Structure 1
Amino acid sequence: MNAQQITIKGKVIDFDSKKPVEYATIILQTDDSLFIKGTTSGLNGDFILNNLGENNYRIVVHSVGYDTLSIDLFNVFKAIDLGSLMINQKTTLLSEVIVQSSSVIEGSYRKLYYPTKEQIVKSINGLQLTQRLLLPQIFVNTQTGQILYTGEKKLKILINGIEALSQEVIGIQPENIIRIDYYENPGMRYGEDIGIILDFIVKQRTNGAFFSANIRETLTHNFTYGQLSGGINYGKSQIKFYYFLSHNDIETSSFKHQTFLFPSGNTISRNEYGEKNWWKETTKMPNISYSYYGKKNTFNMKTNFNSLFQPHDDHEGKILIPEIDRLTNYKIQNKEQTFRPSIDIYFTRQISDNHLIALNVVGTYSKNTVDYIYNETDEDEIISNITTLVDGKRSSLIGEIFYERKYGENLLSVGLRHIQGYTKNNYSGTSIFKTQLHDAFSYGFLQYKGKIKKLNYTGNIGIHRSFFNQEGIANMYSRWMISPMVNINYILSNVLSLRYSYQLKNINPSLSYLSEVERLRNSYQLDKGNPLLKSYLMHHNELRISFNPSPLRSSLVLSSSYYNSPIMEETSFDNYRDIFITTYNNQKKFHQLRFQYNIGVSLFNNHISINSYGGYNKIVSQGHNYEHRRDEWFYLLQTIADYKKLSLTITMVHLPQPFWGESVSKGSSYNEYILSYRLPKMQLGIISTNLFGEKNRKYTYNFSALTRFKNMQNNVKMFPSFGIYGSINLTWGKQNNEKKQKINNLDSENGILL
């Protein structure tokens, strides 16, 4: 674009009265404050600056009786509409303006992140562009193509307001991403456990087609993931498809030391030497969707055909019991398969500029099978032979209606949601059980977002009813609950803000935990469901201090999560059956204190981008018969270095290991190195994980006084690994802006006790 085509325009508005400010002085400077040109606002507060070249700029707005407003614009390369610039006599405020730069623009409800021209050019897909934007508490896992949230809650990904998988972001052309809307603590409107929403605002094509493909192939062991997406546009309609494939075929070895403490005082130690652990899994996530974007109506229908096929999660080796000097052979064969088709229908009507109503209906059917075989032999003698075969089906229907109204900068949202489900699981083999579960969940919420000068606030109240009924079990579960949530954000300056949030959440028991089912693990222990479980409350408090002077983005987070009567595991010994039983019960409490510091920075004219965080967890898990305390440090460092068409990405990860009840799950710790080269519409690269032999072991712990164990998985056969990566993105056709979907639902329950 040549210099004569670049313009910067906007409108100066009085913050209190919302009226235009006439004859305000607008000065355009370089980023080091050298004067370029000036103008004044018109009768409607409008102004325009023409004939500008590509550069970094500073806009300074003066008016008698008002504070001075200064806005930095970095890497301006095309026309900019700043929107409404709010000024008043007491403080300088900037509402949700539109700025084509990499600066953080913070408004009442969200932060807007605009990619620079350099960031777009250096990225081959939307995933890489997300990396370079250095979004707070967001980590891009290049191993799986996922965008992850580093906080305690969940991340929701939207593309033009329509819920999407994070892998689908790979298929977006970087130049088609207008901006990313970043919602922090979005409230009950999007669900009680959502911490961050990323909404990718993407240009919608009015004709032509698009296609993208990405593949990652590990050469040293069998690990592959790939993605295909494409579509056709015609006027206001779009038909598109998406297909994601992940395949793993991995062999490892392991060592597990477990101690069984009997009431008599006798102790048995089992040392399991896993000489061959074989994990083979294929995940497929295809979908086809149709969208219509009218002037006031939006319609979207998506069909999903997700499937998981795990023919092998097998373990083979020897078991040594020193107390009785016994050495036996064991073999575990575990096969799982899930097919989950669903259809998602969405409709919205824009009644007026300030009124919107939306409807969402999701129907899901799930078919699940599990085959588990455990054999333990001593020469020709069979010590243990356990078989569990599960055939499960679940069908559910989710319906939601949502209404939204704007009052100036304030927003009122009201919604109703109902989920109706039926689950039937048949267990055969060593133990025979049949479970039929009816469940229903009704939920209504009221949410109000407002702004008082430098204070943004969100108030939420939710009322919901949970219902569970298992056929053949006299106990029926039904409970009403009220869940409040509040979020307050105080903008101290253009670069400093303080945020506090509180949530009281009701958590229902998992369907699988409620099943009256037993599953033998081995000859010493079994797992058992508990239909008498009750829902429990979680109190979450969070304080966040954000400091974002360009080019630095940072935040300090202090949080507390307190669970009252949480559902956690417990182990007891059944003297009559002479076996240890692990089940689930409402325990006393679980409390986690978390400290986390996030920092992102671009250096040397964006040639080096660093996104990192580090933190500390302090956890207390208290049951009726146990109390465990755990302290843990965690960190992540991701660095991207660019030189011409070459890019080097280094990721060092030690994520928190999930701890709940008496168990610590395997954490995700690895180092990854990617060297890539950009071609027109294409990128090729080489990948290595744990190149220097680090992080080749993973550990799992259980701290039960009766059945404690420590398990070590040795991955020396996998690392260091080497692989290749390729990506291509092609588009044809014109573009316009796409409307946004407001409601997104899904069902992932299966009710199987594993």
Structure 2
Amino acid sequence: MVQNETIDYTFHYSLFRILRLCTGCGEKHHTRRGYGEGSQGGEQVRRYDYLSDGCPEQASNNVYSILEKLTLANLRIDNINHTVTAIDNRGGVQLRVNGIVAGKQEMLALNPKDIAKINFINNPGVRYGDGIAYVIDIVTRRAESGYTVGTDLTTALTTLQGDGMVYGKWNKGRSEWSLSYDVNGYKSKGAKSSQLAEYTLTDGSIYTVERNDVESLRKSIAHDAKLTYNWADTTATVFQTSLSGAFNDAPDDYNIKEIADGARRYRATSRDADKSYSPVLDIYFFRQITPRQSVTANAVGTYISTQTSNYYDEGNPYRYDVDGKTSSLLAEIIYENRLKPFTLSAGGNYSYKHIKNDYSGDASSLTKTSNNRLYAFAEIKGTMRKLRYTLGAGASYIHYTQNGHRYDFQTFHPKVSLTYDINNSMQLSYTCQMQDKVSRIAMTSDVMVRTNSMEWTAGNPDLKPSHDMDHRLQFSYNTSRLQTFVEGYYKQCLKPNMAHYERTADNQFIYTQKNQKEIDVLNVMAYAGYWILPEKLQVAANGGVYRCFNFGNDYTHCYTSWFYVCSITAYLGNITLQGYADNGNRFLEGESKGYNAAYSVLKASYTWRNWQFSLSWANPLNNNYKAYENELLNRNLYKHTVGYSKGNGNQVSLNVSWRLSRGSKRNSAEKRISLSDADNGIL
């Protein structure tokens, strides 16, 4: 039995089986598509199976296209720009291939014909990392011998934006080599914002400043290359090592603003540049010791070199540069034993990170930070008739030093997960867990930089980790054509890092963060997806209410917002048509009330042999696209900012991809741990 089939889970499937004409070879084959829910590793999982008695599905030429067709709740999937984002402000989305965290390069290099199943986890555990709300794990079949080569090119036809990638995989026996190179860039002159700021001064008067963009330029180019070697005996051992490198350059961006400052009218210019490179070495090992026992280990070493330059002359010129050097080591080991009647898992995680950021110019400072974190956990998971359970606990120790500041923190992480199978179509599940949330390293520095003529941003070395308690209750009902669920989610953040504004005696306004009272979030939503015509026409919709509570030391802010998403997809042989719309994301965190843009798109794709051509029209007939809107609700500082993007409105994009594969397939081993680090600690 292969490794990816030895995990404890139980799925109840609603499968439909139809005889259809295969667009790949012109023959008729029976195709079964399965949808089910279950528990894997203690987490609630939705699994989508692609099982065919003949040729694989030909209508999708990359994984983003397949994910788009699944209409996963709360996710915005862009097949043209190759992005997957969460729209409910709950956290990030982590993509994995056979358990390994995957970027755009790995996702595009994956052949849809090799996919065995897709696992969607909407309540991931702490091992997936901080700030991760959803995990998509794609399990594939691997070639015994053969190769895959391909390219993927995307260009916007209405603005200067492009992305190109080439990749290749070579398999022979138990060994696999893969190499990819990606370059992407953009140049935009259409982004503008307008801001009204009202400052309450120490004498009680209100000082008003208007800042309106007149002209702006943003441009960037990024290069990514990755070489990977994988050796796998799927019944016993997996070894993988990869070396990657990234280079990013955003030279000489600028923004010119019209400033209305009382009776004065003048123009202010900001300029900034950013350049970085980062090599990463990743080593992974899995060993099946006995049929019931396994050990998994992963180690990642990362180096980040960053040079930035910032200039803004509102009021008077202010300039500073940063030369940053970051090195880190992340390591984790997990032991698993499939006992009766439960499975025991235990492990440890160690991370070390050292940062040296040299601020010169008007923000002169040398920040040296060392952070050590040790985390250990143990859990049991099992089944009692129709009830599946996970009981776990973890503890962490954090040692932190920064420019003479020294701290030690200990935190505790309990977790309980229960799932009851009412019948083959209905499930009820509840999860509760507590975890620590560590501040961004940049905000724990003692650096202070000027934002404009009235405002500053300052780090706070006294920030401590907060404690987050999550509760999730879900009821789901699924049939062969209908998938639905209703979910309630409540998050309680105790002593979180919240926004804090200080007004000085000379009327300067300093933004920083402090551990304050509490932030609570309540989210109630429902999802439904229905096949009007099986495998031909599908509609999906989800929506709900989002309520947030912010209890600071000297303020209380609450906010309620509604959200919705709807889509319709038609599969017409080699042609796929889709319409999608959502109303964006509205939230209130700390003292910042925000809105991230609504999004709508019409898409069409055509697959011919090894080629796929896709055309999208995003935010149609909207030439002045509102990308964001923010309000600052501080008692002494009110700001209202609206940003517009001509490039993202009425945008037409073309994607062309080509892939050639040769070789027979077998199941792949799934990687159970994956670590990464991309935080350079710069404010």
State TM-score, norm by structure 2: 0.91
Partner residue of 2:48 out of 104, 113, 131: 113
**Are positions 1:598 and 2:533 aligned together?**
no
Q: CA deviation at 1:348?
A: 1.1
Compared with structure 1, are the counterparts of its residues 349 and 417 closer, same or farther at alpha carbon in structure 2 (3 Å cutoff)? Answer: same
Aligned to 2:679: 749
Q: CA deviation at 1:463?
A: 0.5
Which stretch has the larger CA shift, 130-139 or 453-462?
130-139
**Are positions 1:310 and 2:240 aligned together?**
no
Q: CA deviation at 1:177?
A: 0.7
Compared with structure 1, are the counterparts of its residues 583 and 333 closer, same or farther at alpha carbon in structure 2 (3 Å cutoff)? Answer: same
Aligned to 2:563: 634
Partner residue of 1:705 out of 632, 635, 648: 635
Count of residue correspondences: 655
Cα offsets for 1:251-306 (capped at 9, x unmatched):
22221111111111121111112011222223333211100012522100011212
State the SS of the aligned residue for 1:534: coil
Contact 1:136 1:600 in 2 (8 A): no
**Are positions 1:128 and 2:128 aligned together?**
no
Aligned to 2:17: 74
Cα offsets for 1:351-384 (capped at 9, x unmatched):
12211111111100011222110013xxxxxx41
Compared with structure 1, are the counterparts of its residues 483 and 76 closer, same or farther at alpha carbon in structure 2 (3 Å cutoff)? Answer: farther
Partner residue of 1:268 out of 207, 222, 239: 207
Cα offsets for 1:550-609 (capped at 9, x unmatched):
21111111111111111111111111x542111111122111111111222222232222
Partner residue of 1:653 out of 576, 582, 587: 582
Q: Distance in 2 between matches of 1:166 and 1:450?
A: 35
Q: Distance in 2 between matches of 1:502 and 1:313?
A: 46
Matching of residues 35-434 of structure 1 within 5 Å: 72-75=15-18, 101-109=32-40, 110-115=45-50, 117=52, 120-149=57-86, 152-165=90-103, 168-191=106-129, 193-251=131-189, 252-294=191-233, 295-321=235-261, 323=262, 325-376=263-314, 383-407=315-339, 410-434=342-366
Contact 1:242 1:288 in 2 (8 A): yes
Aligned to 2:517: 588
Compared with structure 1, are the counterparts of its residues 100 and 502 closer, same or farther at alpha carbon in structure 2 (3 Å cutoff)? Answer: farther
Which stretch has the larger CA shift, 395-404 or 330-339?
330-339
Structure 2 residues not aligned, in runs of 5+: 1-11, 22-29
Q: CA deviation at 1:192?
A: 6.1
Aligned to 1:509: 439
Contact 1:303 1:342 in 2 (8 A): yes
Which stretch has the larger CA shift, 617-626 or 413-422?
617-626
Q: CA deviation at 1:313?
A: 4.3
Cα offsets for 1:195-233 (capped at 9, x unmatched):
443221111112221012222211111122233321111
Partner residue of 1:518 out of 448, 452, 469: 448
Q: CA deviation at 1:193?
A: 4.8
Q: CA deviation at 1:115?
A: 2.0
Partner residue of 1:481 out of 408, 411, 417: 411
State the SS of the aligned residue for 1:739: coil
State the SS of the aligned residue for 2:669: coil
Which stretch has the larger CA shift, 501-510 or 177-186?
177-186
The runs of 4+ residues in structure 1 deviating greater than 6 Å are none
* Structure 1 letter corresponding to 2:603: I
Contact 2:192 2:213 in 1 (8 A): yes
Compared with structure 1, are the counterparts of its residues 533 and 717 closer, same or farther at alpha carbon in structure 2 (3 Å cutoff)? Answer: closer
Partner residue of 1:681 out of 610, 618, 624: 610
Contact 1:526 1:579 in 2 (8 A): yes
Q: CA deviation at 1:157?
A: 2.1
Structure 1 residues not aligned, in runs of 5+: 1-68, 79-98, 377-382
Q: Distance in 1 between matches of 2:341 and 2:638?
A: 56
Q: CA deviation at 1:346?
A: 0.5
Q: Distance in 2 between matches of 1:694 and 1:669?
A: 14
Aligned to 1:664: 593
State the SS of the aligned residue for 1:169: helix
Q: CA deviation at 1:132?
A: 2.5
Matching of residues 533-544 of structure 1 within 5 Å: 533-544=463-474
Q: Distance in 1 between matches of 2:481 and 2:522?
A: 30
Cα offsets for 1:323-370 (capped at 9, x unmatched):
3x1101101112222222111100111112211111111100011222
State the SS of the aligned residue for 1:532: coil
Q: Distance in 2 between matches of 1:143 and 1:684?
A: 10
Q: Distance in 2 between matches of 1:116 and 1:129?
A: 14
Q: Distance in 2 between matches of 1:593 and 1:637?
A: 22
Q: CA deviation at 1:518?
A: 0.8
Compared with structure 1, are the counterparts of its residues 695 and 115 closer, same or farther at alpha carbon in structure 2 (3 Å cutoff)? Answer: farther
**Are positions 1:727 and 2:644 aligned together?**
no
Compared with structure 1, are the counterparts of its residues 313 and 556 closer, same or farther at alpha carbon in structure 2 (3 Å cutoff)? Answer: farther
Q: Distance in 2 between matches of 1:502 and 1:70?
A: 26
State the SS of the aligned residue for 1:745: coil
Contact 1:608 1:641 in 2 (8 A): yes
State the SS of the aligned residue for 2:58: helix
Q: Distance in 1 between matches of 2:576 and 2:522?
A: 38
Q: CA deviation at 1:635?
A: 2.0
Contact 2:585 2:595 in 1 (8 A): no
Q: Distance in 2 between matches of 1:531 and 1:454?
A: 49
Aligned to 1:51: none
Q: Distance in 1 between matches of 2:71 and 2:566?
A: 12
Q: CA deviation at 1:119?
A: 8.0
Q: Which has the higher contact order (CA 8 A, sep 6+)?
A: 2
Q: Distance in 1 between matches of 2:434 and 2:210?
A: 44
Which stretch has the larger CA shift, 305-314 or 674-683?
305-314
State the SS of the aligned residue for 1:708: strand
